Amino acid sequence: MKIITTTKRVKKDNTTIGGKMPKYHSNEFPWYAPSDQTRRDNAIQAAKLMMNAAFTAPTTGGVDHNECELLWGEEEQEELAGKMDELSHTMGNEKTQELYQVEAVMAREADCILLVGDTRSRNTPFDADCGFCGGAEGCAFLYSRRKTSMGQIDSTDQSLSQTPIDGPLCGAHVSNLGFSVGSALWMARNLMVDARPFMTMGVAAKKLGYCKKSALVVGIPIAATSKNPFVDVHFNYPAMNMRSVVDSARKSYIITRQFGLDYRLHSSKNFKKNSDNNKED
Amino acid sequence: MAILEGKKFADERLLDSAGHILHAYYKAPQVSGRLDAKAVVVYGEELNPMLELIEKMDAKLEGAAKELFFPLYVDYQCVKQAIEKGYSPIMVILGADCAKANMSWDCGACGFPTCNEFNRYCKDNSSMGLAAVGPNCVWKGLDYGIACDYACAAAGELNVENRILSTFGLISSLLGYLDGTTNNLGLALGPSKEMWWYSRPSLAKWLDRDLYEGMMQKNYTNFFQMFSTKLNPRVKKDGAWWDEEPEISVAIQPDDDYAERQAEIQGVIMESVIEVRPQVEEMKEKLAKRTAVLDEKN
């Protein structure tokens, strides 16, 4: 029997194939450097498990109602954050302006963003007279506010959609979405990654075309970093965040460096303080 | 030192698990950050009013409760059988007022263009459905869902037999266990048995084939129906249904008796609630006194 070791297989030209296991080195900084990417990849694995947890959440009736999408990558996250910044101004709502702006920073700082949407709340209500949406019998509160044909809601009708979210929505399914988001967050907790649910990220992601089948989407940014980027934030966070501070430091450093001496002629050792010079005198 | 009987000790310690579960419930992450989550823990004799309400309704409706309120009756039997066998479950009632839209997000998810309009509508138009008082702020409802899910996840993590029940949420809401809430759900904990709320050993004792078949026919009408070239398509069932006259017809017809029957059922529910509710009010008074004493000590 020929024994083949898995550690080293020597080819004719003396190079090894399959000889070395891949090396994983992980680091948080600089952002998006290969070692940071390793860490981000792991966070993405966690997000995928959170996605599954969302599906297994206990829900009323046990009917499938979720769609999940994972948003990751510098360009994609910047696109989402940019949309949030834009919405902060175009919504015309002072109360949500800062929410959108602060949480846009968090979208940039996240390793990835899990989007959890509910596919049923707009078009296929639970039909159980639960009363959550308005209390009227026959789910009339919801049906009477939609364009219907033969009792079925017209999913193409956008005439009522004047607000960030196209309501009214079926409350039973909304509550179910809450359970799904809860299970995703619980999984994050178990996997020791930081995560937090946001309305703003969900609205912006929906506008960018994520979770197309859902009327209501919650965005959950995920991070596996030393400091949870979704809590303990400065006032005026859009201006005063890690990226702006680091960028400002780089700028100041580069400007300040221009006043350096020629290192070949002036050794650091001989670069003395004023007081030292006075002593010599 | 002492020696303890394992099963009894486990059942006794269910109360501890309720405490841990409530920690998870109250600390659950929120989107709005403004959900006022409430809860009470009900066990032992304090569960009786819930069971009594269902029994009263069943008696007044001459044994029709199992057909009319099937899911409620299923859960009722689970609770009742556990108590009869000597291992009473604990019911953690989880509730919140989701009707107050106080974030001013004007997101429109509730169906109103602004939170102010929603709040104005709620003042005069709130009413109760089968499981909640509506309308509700969608984000509060979502946060309430997250909190309840955290409670379930905590129970799961503690390996405590549990199931979240909208049926007992409705019952506790009707009886007023939690004041100032629009949504109630019951999280049943224990007994220390495998899959008590899922395998439902109690079902085998009372669920008969006719009731089950009737329910299937109502819910999956088309599945049992012959092709409807005739006005009165036959419905397939046990036995030689093809030899029988099509006594069960699937058609949309006005049912003159329906409204009357429904009014009667609603009357029975309200009557039974009025009869049982004073017991819960008495219980709440005791709870308020106990809380006041604890507050004084602290």
pLDDT for residue B247 = 64
Nearest by CB to residue B135, choosing from A133, A162, A166, is A133
Yes or no, beta carbons of A179 and B152 under 8 Å apart: yes
In a domain, A1, yes or no: no
Which residue range(s) make up the domain with A136? 34-260
| Mean pLDDT value of segment B146-151 | 98
CB-neighbour burial class of residue B159 (10 A; exposed 0-12, middle 13-18, buried 19+) = exposed
User: In this complex, which of A58, A95, A131 lies closest to B131 when CB atoms are compared?
Assistant: A131
Q: Over 60: is that where the pLDDT of A3 sits?
A: no
Q: What is the 3 state secondary structure string of chain B?
A: CCCCCHHHHHHHCHHHHHHHHHHHHHCCCCCCCCCCEEEEEEEHHHHHHHHHHHHHHHHHCCCCHHHHCHHHHHHHHHHHHHHHCCCCCEEEEEEECCCCCCCCCCCCCCCCCCHHHHHHHHHHHCEECCCEEECCCHHHHHHHHHHHHHHHHHHHHCCCCEEEEHHHHHHHHHHCCCCCCCEEEEEEECCCCCCHHHHCCCHHHHCCHHHHHHHHHHHCHHHHECCCCCCCCCECCCCCHHHCCCCCCCCCCCCHHHHHHHHHHHHHHHHHHHHHHHHHHHHHHHHHHHHHHHHHHC
Q: What is the CATH number of the domain that holds A80?
A: 3.40.109.10
The dihedrals phi and psi of A217, each to the nearest 5 degrees, come to: -130, 135
Rounded-to-integer distance, Cα A238 and Cα A230, Å = 13
Asked whether the predicted pLDDT for residue A273 surpasses 50, the reply is yes
Contacts of B114 (CB under 8 A, 6+ apart): B106
What is the Cα A74 distance to its own chain's centre?
11
Q: Considering only CB atoms, which chain B residues are within 8 Å of A172? A: 131
Least confident of A43-52, A98-107, B207-216, B272-281: B207-216
Query: In this complex, do A197 and B29 lie within 8 Å of one another by their Cβ atoms?
Result: yes
Lowest mean pLDDT among A6-15, A26-35, A108-117, A252-261: A6-15
Sign, CA torsion A197/A202/A205/A211? positive
ipTM associated with this complex: 0.83
Q: Which residues contact B25 (CB under 8 A, 6 or more apart)?
A: B37, B39, B94, B147, B148, B150, B151, B154
Q: Does some domain include residue A274?
A: no
- Largest CA-CA distance found in chain B, in angstroms, rounded: 79
Confidence of residue A15 (pLDDT cuts 50, 70, 90): low
A6 pLDDT tier (thresholds 50, 70, 90): very low
In total, chain B counts a number of residues equal to: 298
Q: Taking the CB of residue B132, how many other CB atoms lie within 10 A of it?
A: 30
| A145 CA: distance to closest CA in chain B (Å) | 8
Residue B38 β-bridge partners: B95
For residue A86, give every residue at least 6 positions away whose Cβ sits within 8 Å of its Cβ, in sequence order, or none: none
Per the CB < 8 Å rule, is B111 touching A186? Answer: no
pLDDT at A157 over 70: yes
**To which H or E segment does residue A250 belong?**
helix A242-257
Mutation target to probe the A interface, by most A beta carbons within 10 A, among B25, B102, B110, B185 is B110
- Residue A4 within any structural domain of the chain: no
Residue type present at position A191: L
Q: Please state which of the ranges A94-98, A136-140, B169-173 shows the lowest mean pLDDT.
A: A136-140
Could you tell me if A193 and A224 are in contact, meaning their C-beta atoms sit under 8 angstroms apart?
A: yes
Q: What's the pLDDT tens digit per position in B155-178? A: 999 999 999 999 999 999 999 999
pLDDT in tens, B202-258: 888 888 888 888 888 888 877 888 776 666 777 888 888 888 776 666 667 788 888
What are the structure tokens assigned to B278, written together? Answer: 């004073």
pLDDT mean across residues, chain A? 90
Give the one of A93, A163, A179 whose C-beta lies nearest to B145's C-beta.
Answer: A179
Phi, psi of A225 (to 5 degrees): -125, 165
Among B75, B146, B165, B269, the residue to mutate for chain A (most A Cβ within 10 A): B146
Residue A17 has pLDDT above 80, yes or no: no
Long-range CB contacts for residues B62-68, cutoff 8 Å, separation at least 24: B66/B206, B66/B211, B67/B211, B67/B214, B68/B265
Tokens 């029957």 sit on residue: B261
Is the pLDDT score of A73 beyond 60? yes
For residues B116 and B123, the answer to whether their CB atoms sit within 8 Å is no
Q: Higher-confidence residue: A19 or A138?
A: A138
Give, rounded to a whole angstrom, the gap between the first and last alpha carbons of chain B.
Answer: 31
Instruction: Read off the pLDDT band of B297 (50, 70, 90).
Output: confident
Q: Which residues of B touch A231 (CB under 8 A)?
A: none
pTM of the model: 0.87
Amino acid B84: pLDDT: 92
Distance CA A69, CA A46 (A): 13
User: Quick check: A5 pLDDT over 70?
Assistant: no
Pairing of strands B90-96, A194-195: unpaired
Nearest CB among A95, A145, A178 relative to B145 is that of A178
B128 CB within 8 Å of a chain A CB: yes
> A198: which chain B residues are within 8 Å (Cβ-Cβ)?
31
Q: How many domains does chain A have?
A: 1
- Judge contact between B19 and B51, C-beta under 8 A: no
Distance CA A235, CA B34 (A): 20
Place of tokens 């549990």: B162
Q: Looking at the complex, does the CB of residue B33 fall below 8 Å from at least one CB of chain A?
A: no
Query: What pLDDT is recorded for position B213?
Result: 86
User: Which of A158-162, B1-5, B96-100, B118-122 is predicted with the least confidence, judged by mean pLDDT?
Assistant: A158-162
pLDDT at B296: 87
- Residue B71, C-beta contacts closer than 8 angstroms, at least 6 positions apart: B166, B167
Identify the CA nearest to B126 among candidates B100, B94, B103: B100
**Residues from chain B contacting residue A102 (CB–CB below 8 Å):** none
For the record, the structure tokens of B128 come out as 């109760």
Q: Per-residue pLDDT averaged across A30-47, rounded?
A: 94
Which chain A residues touch B128 with a CB distance below 8 Å?
Answer: 131, 135
List all residues 6 or more positions away from A61 whose beta carbon is below 8 Å from its beta carbon. Answer: A126, A128, A172, A176
Is residue A135 very low, low, confident or very high in pLDDT (cuts 50, 70, 90)?
A: confident
The answer to whether residue A12 sits within a structural domain is no
Question: By C-alpha distance, which of A218, A192, A181, A186 is closest to A203?
Answer: A218
Most confident of A126-135, A150-159, B221-230, B270-279: B270-279
Q: What is the token pair recorded at B265?
A: 């059922």
